[in-house]
Amino acid sequence: MYYIFALEDGMVQPTMEVMARLSRLARAECAILILFYTCLWSNKASFLIFFRRIAGTDRSWSIWFWCVVGLVAGTYLVCLGDIQYNCLVNSQVHILEHCAQKAAGQFEFRALITNLVLDVITDVCIISLPIALLWNVRIPFRHKMILIAILSVAVFIFIVAVVRVAVVARRDQNPDISWLWM
């Protein structure tokens, strides 16, 4: 990964060995991106399974639940679909010719922003499920508010996601991929 920074700074010349290392890094980055989105969306799926198990028979909640499940599944496919596979698994010649262009960087920037928005939207929808259940539970209003406040700690997760992308996403240059792996 640090070879990229060294190349950009002119500290390392693009020798065959360096290019071979960068090719391996690109393939590893492809695998890491797929695993990252799969783990993140698996976590979302586990929450959905948990909330489904504790849910009652309320029809409107059940409809909302299945809408959220469809949204989460669709956004997972979008996040996997907007990975620039052609810039990660192709030959080094193809990567140097096509992926170093400004359009490829802008595509990656738009993909990062899109994935951030989809991540936050799905998190909000998933958090809305237990909050909707709480309104129908017969406990004191104060206890409901405490439980809702605990569930709202997820706002911290939204902030981390936004900061991660704000640090990484650059419209005019390649992102620092070390931040993407957080």
Q: pLDDT by residue (tens digit) across 50-66?
A: 888 877 677 888 899 99
4-21 pLDDT per residue, tens: 666 666 676 777 777 777
Q: What gap in Å lies between CA 161 and CA 113, rounded to an integer?
A: 10
**Range(s) of the domain holding residue 113:** 37-180
| pLDDT confidence of residue 68 | 96
Structurally, the chain folds into a number of domains equal to: 1
Give a yes or no: residue 126 inside a domain.
yes
Residue 67 tokens, joined? 């809408």
169, part of any domain: yes
Question: Does 76 reside within a domain?
Answer: yes
Q: Which pLDDT does position 55 carry in this prediction?
A: 74
In a domain, 60, yes or no: yes
Q: Quote the tokens at residue 105.
A: 């960087």
Domain assignment present for 11? no
8 in a domain, yes or no? no
CA dihedral (155, 166, 95, 41) in degrees, to 10, reads 0
The answer to the question of residue 78 being in a domain is: yes
Please state the rounded mean pLDDT for residues 138-154: 80
Is 154 part of any domain? yes
